[in-house]
Amino acid sequence: MSYALNHTNRKLTLEPKITVNAKIIVVGASSVGISFLETLVFCSHLKFNNLTLISTHGLPGKKLLDTEQRKFLASDHCFNNKDYALMSLCSWVNVVVGRMTGIDRAAKHVVLSTGEIVLYDHLILCTGQQYQVPCPTGADISQHLTNREVPNSSQQRYTGKVPCNHFTLNEEEDCFKALTWIRNNSITTEDGGIASVLFCR
């Protein structure tokens, strides 16, 4: 098991820290969000008592995938599982598992998909890069239209039913679900590998 070894000296022990009680909410467990929380938690002269992370799957680093399977994710490789274990953000940060659906700036609170309300003094949005389900253009393929002739759908969002074999790989949990579905619905080779599977981002 990974562990964290923290060293402190006498000077830092006797040095008073300024306590910050402001409610700071970080939305999204992206590399930027985790780096922001790490900076606040390990600040030598400030102590933040009210840090909250709102994320769909909580803190990253659950080791759901091995090294090869993690290659499915488009990552900047800022943090790995060992980094998450050494930071131990769960000791310093309140984690709210959920999806933010609204912001009330006047009342200074965010609304979650479950209907819960979380108050804040400072709100940091770090949702990171997120792939979306492509929206069909509605073009007639029998007419052999070019890209210029196809209506622009970049501002449209697909709200219909997503097929069970369509996966948008944004997080480890998404990759884990996709691999589980493939193993249950694909032909496997004798060595346990998966035959003839194509992944597209």
Strands, E assignment, 105-167: 109-112, 117-119, 122-125
As averages over each run of 10 residues, the pLDDT of the chain (201 residues) reads 74 84 94 92 91 90 66 70 84 93 95 94 88 73 78 70 80 81 73 50 46
Residue 123 pLDDT: 96
Answer whether 110's CB lies under 8 Å from 25's CB: yes
Residue 33 pLDDT: 92
**Domain boundaries defined on the chain:** 10-125, 141-199
Q: Is the whole model's pTM more than 0.85, yes or no?
A: no
Answer whether 50's CB lies under 8 Å from 40's CB: no
Answer whether 158's CB lies under 8 Å from 133's CB: yes
109-112 and 117-119 strand pairing: antiparallel
Residue 117 pLDDT: 95
Residue 153: alpha-carbon gap to chain centroid: 26
Place of tokens 């194509």: 198
DSSP assigned state of 121: S
Residue 173 pLDDT: 79
Residue 68 pLDDT: 62
- State the alpha helices, DSSP H only, in the chain: 10-14, 31-41, 81-87, 172-185
Which CATH topology does 10-125 take?
Answer: FAD/NAD(P)-binding domain (3.50.50)
Strand, coil or helix: 60: coil
For residues 21, 23, 24, 27, the Cα torsion angle rounded to the nearest 10 degrees is 160
